[in-house]
Structure 1
Amino acid sequence: MNQRRALIMLALALLLGLAAVALAARWLLHPAPSTGRRIIVAASDISLGQRLTPELLKALDWPAESMPRGAVQDSARLVGRVLRSSVLRDEPLSEAKLAPAGTLGGLSALIAEGKRAITVRVNDVVGVAGFALPGNFVDILVNMQASASGSEQAISRIVLERILVLAVAQEVGRDETRPKVVNAVTLEVTPAQAESIDLARSVGTLSLVLRNQIDPQPGVTTGATRNTLLHIEAPPVAVAREAPVRSSAPAPSAVMATRQRHCINVIAGTQRIEECL
């Protein structure tokens, strides 16, 4: 009797175990329907300025409670568009990361509306030893000979501040943090700033000054000269004194001298003559 009961319990446990395995397999093979939506994400890492193709896009289920703002659900809306910022694999794509429709790929897609791109020739020193990378902000320093009091004097001064670096040499990627020594840097400027840079590099030597990315404070300076560098006081400027204006009117003493005359009365016969000296 006891042996029969043990066999029954063993068979029952075996049946329950098989049922649990079947339910677990069914749950793993057929998961519950997701409450999210399918959005378009990057199929691989994509650099800014690159034109999107179907191979660079894929659909991915995304939880509804954490849906990204501006997420795109139709890949047809993205094909042919140009990225204005780099994206990583599986990163959602949105209009904020895209250049306007019809924009050609390359550097022109990165220039903000109303801005211009100008390239400045640099070397390993002028280019801040290669640390001026795309996405950084720099100040532009000009060194030139300025005329002061009739003599030429070297002066160095910051002429433009917080200028965005669009590209270094032929590269526009902003994900690289290692320094790159290049011979040209492309900057994003306004039309007026482009004119200032063009004039500055024709009258002097340009240098780039790397600045903090989040520091908006302007650097107000008067420039550095040889005298300020060596703490030499400038010689006082001689002021020419005006010559006193001579009055055409005679001096009072001269007037009195002309008035004080000595007169002598001369009597000759019946005639009287007065002579004054």
Structure 2
Amino acid sequence: MINLTKILAAILVLLAIALGGYAWMLSRQAPAPIAATTAPSTASTKTQQAQVYPVVVAAKPLPAGQAIPADALRVERLTINPAGAFQDLTVAAGRVPVLDLAEGTPVMENQLVSGLALRIAEGERAVAVKADEVMGVGNKLQPGDFVDVFITLKSDGKDVDRSQARLLLSRKRVLAFGNASVDGLPSKSADKSGAQQAQRAEPARTAVLAVPVDEVNRLTIGDASGKLLLALRNPTDLSEPDPKLFADLPTALQPVLAKAGEPRRAPLEGLDRAQAGLTAADLVTGGNGPALRPQAAQARVASGAPRAAGPARTGLQVEVIRGEKSETVNY
């Protein structure tokens, strides 16, 4: 009995020693799985930190309102990829920033001019005129169409002595009509939203036309003096009136005459002609209204100037005195 007890005690001691050794072995091997588990996470973090994106940035300060030259941009690899940033230099070159951009600043879409202004050709201006169903061809006009602008003038006893209707401007491009414009035409797909349908259904109140800058005066005075009518035309019809058949309208401001010995100056064009302006009377009469005699030839000095003797005149004579000058009108 005593031997059996000793044997059991010895077995228990050996078992305890074995368990202790096993526990010691496990304690030595435990860090290895942890290190193996954390190693991929650390490598993934380093990979994320090392990831970069090509982004177009300003190579030098870019002033607002001036086209960006290609040599003013460069591509840098950044750890961030801003929304609206460019990856290609050729896409951003030539665009116009709306605010000053410092050197090294990423160039983004919302920092550049966009919209209708980019659809206007050089030398043109976008001009809005009042529109209604009749003037807008029954609201059938669409952005991108070409129209002729007619004007109707009713006699008012002042600038307009006779009622008339005529072509004012020919083949002008419609940039916008109502809420639709060439920079964002409503989608023609079947899944177009209800908001877009509502915009197209709303009656248009304005039409925006692309007009050469030297013809803007015609349109603005015509809109103020008479009633405009837009006539829709086929875009493939390129016919226009022959300018050689009609004399140019005189300008409201007369250019400075060339000095003696200087070559004769060319007729006003573009912005210079727009600056010179146009009068409503010349628009109505085509510049062939009643000629005004030079005031110096009409006026005679009233005070202290002897009147020249002449043959007796019959009929009614009226002397008109304006300040220190007077003139006699025979009826």
More helix by share: 2
Structure number with the bigger relative contact order (C-alpha 8 A, sep ≥ 6) is 1
One fold, TM greater than 0.5? Answer: no
TM-score by length of 2: 0.35
